[in-house]
């Protein structure tokens, strides 16, 4: 089941104060970017945060699950999604700990 636009819009609204937030639809689901870093995925109307040490400390009792079959484990956010301050802070923590994206290679012919 693909995620609904309503759910994606809700998540984006909840984290709008977490930095420069953008979203990109990919394969029927969504990648969430903070300051050009992929920090989360939305799959099947669920929010999955990339795992970091700081994120795990902030969350406390973490539920981990793959966003889709074969994916690496992520933090599944089931509670606190309605708490925009909490989820925004988690996004900021995650973005700070993730490395900068590698520059894209120029296409050669």
Element (H, E) at 42: strand 37-43
User: What gap in Å lies between CA 77 and CA 43, rounded to an integer?
Assistant: 12
Domain ranges (residues) in the chain = 5-97
CATH number of 5-97: 3.30.1460.30
Render pLDDT for 75-90 as a digit per residue (tens, 0 to 9): 999 989 999 999 999 9
Render pLDDT for 24-49 as a digit per residue (tens, 0 to 9): 998 779 999 998 899 999 999 999 99
Phi, psi (deg, nearest 5) at residue 30: -135, 140
* pTM tops 0.85: yes
* Region of residue 90 (phi > 0: left; psi between -120 and 50: alpha; otherwise: beta): alpha
């Amino acid at each position: 089941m693909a995620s609904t636009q309503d759910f994606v819009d809700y998540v984006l609204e909840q984290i709008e104060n977490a930095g420069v937030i953008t979203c990109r639809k990919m394969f029927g689901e969504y990648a969430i970017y903070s300051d050009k870093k992929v920090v989360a995925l939305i799959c099947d109307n669920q929010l999955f945060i990339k795992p970091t040490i700081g994120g795990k400390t902030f969350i406390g009792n973490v539920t981990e699950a793959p966003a889709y079959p074969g994916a690496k484990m992520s933090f599944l956010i089931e509670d606190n999604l309605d708490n925009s301050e909490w989820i925004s802070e988690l996004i900021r923590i995650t973005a700070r700990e993730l490395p900068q994206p590698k520059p894209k290679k120029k296409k050669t012919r």
